[in-house]
Amino acid sequence: MSSDEEGMSQSFSFSVGPGQVRQVHDDSVEALDNALAAVGNGGVNHFIDPQRIQTFEAGGPPVWSVATVPTAEGTLYLTYGFSEAIDPGRIGVKFEMSIVVPGEATMWPALLLRALCRYMLGSKRPLEAGQAMPFPAAITRFFAPPAEQANYPQTDMAAAFFVSDPLLPSIDTGRGIVEVRRAVGLYEDERALFDLWTPQGFLDCFTQRDAALTTGIQRPSMAADASFVSAIEAGSERDGSQVSAVAVPGVQWGQDENNAVLVEFPGGEYARRILQMVRARLPFGKHLLVHDIDPEKSDAVAFEPGNEKIAFRNEGDTLVISIRPDHDLFETLVQAADGPRVEWKFG
């Protein structure tokens, strides 16, 4: 296969074995094209990977295509082939992924959506509406090898949350209804606020400032908007948080030679985040899991509402601490807000 651009030609060669050819329902492709055209104000175009002829299991891309259409708010990108309506090999999958980015079509949003689909296929964890997800680097670059990341724009935006696409919530393909889930880019300080309250509460505050739910990678963070932060914090104090875990670097626990229990957390902004989440969970009768951002580090600490006397038990690599929500021990997280570490010793 080859592609031509400004007189240049690139050739691709690969082998496809028995059972490795990707099957695609052309009528469903047409249904998605028509749905995009109906909400856009221009032509529908596709980012084509020559290896899309191969199944994902045989080394092909995670989706058959990512299509774009210009809209009043920016370019709408939509995956084709994460769902079984397009790819019959995806039995039981009923959704595709989208994103809206201001400006004309460019490559990184398509690669971001493909990376999200690759993550779901590899982890077997679907990205549901109402979830938020951090990335190891900028949303515009994390999917690329280090040597190629400079080819894509830089941003401090390194997270996203997921909602039902407000422009195209679902598509009737004739082979079933396909849900469309929109990815919306977040800065890390915005994601911290997302964790504090309910997904719907955060979404309501967000859409008051960006009703189109676009991902503008150079926009200012809403965490710098005092009214936005106040609304989130007030909602958290009233309703608590629906997010059951917080990830921070440097979570450790163990026992010394005298069987005393030792617990370590990071200080600074991370200690403040742990404290915020404790206050948004334990007083509402909910537990909180604190784990490391590095998935290779398995130590974790879980807090659950308890009585006056602190109690411990371990469940594998997780230390479970039963503790009163207003226990004085949590004041050490306040005191460590400007320090490097929080260290607890029991026994």
Domain coordinates of the chain in residue numbers? 2-239, 245-346
Do 129 and 181 form a contact (C-beta atoms < 8 A)? yes
Q: What is the pLDDT of residue 1?
A: 32
Instruction: From residue 90, give the alpha-carbon distance in Å to each of 23, 130, 169.
Output: 10, 23, 20
| Number of alpha helices (DSSP H) and beta strands (DSSP E) in the chain | 7, 18
Confidence of residue 217 (pLDDT cuts 50, 70, 90): very high
Instruction: List, for residues 70-101, the tens digit of each pLDDT value.
Output: 999 999 999 999 999 999 999 999 999 999 99
Instruction: List, for residues 239-282, the tens digit of each pLDDT value.
Output: 999 999 998 889 999 999 888 999 999 999 889 999 999 999 99
Say what angle helices 188-196 and 226-239 make with each other, to 10 degrees: 30
Mean pLDDT of all residues belonging to the chain? 92
Instruction: List, for residues 142-192, the tens digit of each pLDDT value.
Output: 999 999 999 999 999 999 999 999 999 999 999 999 999 999 999 999 999
Confidence of residue 6 (pLDDT cuts 50, 70, 90): very low
Give the containing element (helix H, strand E) for 323: strand 318-323
Confidence of residue 294 (pLDDT cuts 50, 70, 90): confident
The pLDDT of residue 235 is above 70:
yes
Q: What proportion of the chain, given as a percentage, has pLDDT over 70?
A: 94
Q: What is the pLDDT of residue 9?
A: 47
Mean pLDDT over 32-61 rounds to 93
Model pTM? 0.84
CA atoms within 13 A on the CB side of 81: 25
Do 274 and 300 form a contact (C-beta atoms < 8 A)? no
Q: What sign does the CA torsion over 161, 162, 164, 170 have?
A: positive
CATH of domain 245-346: 3.30.1360.230
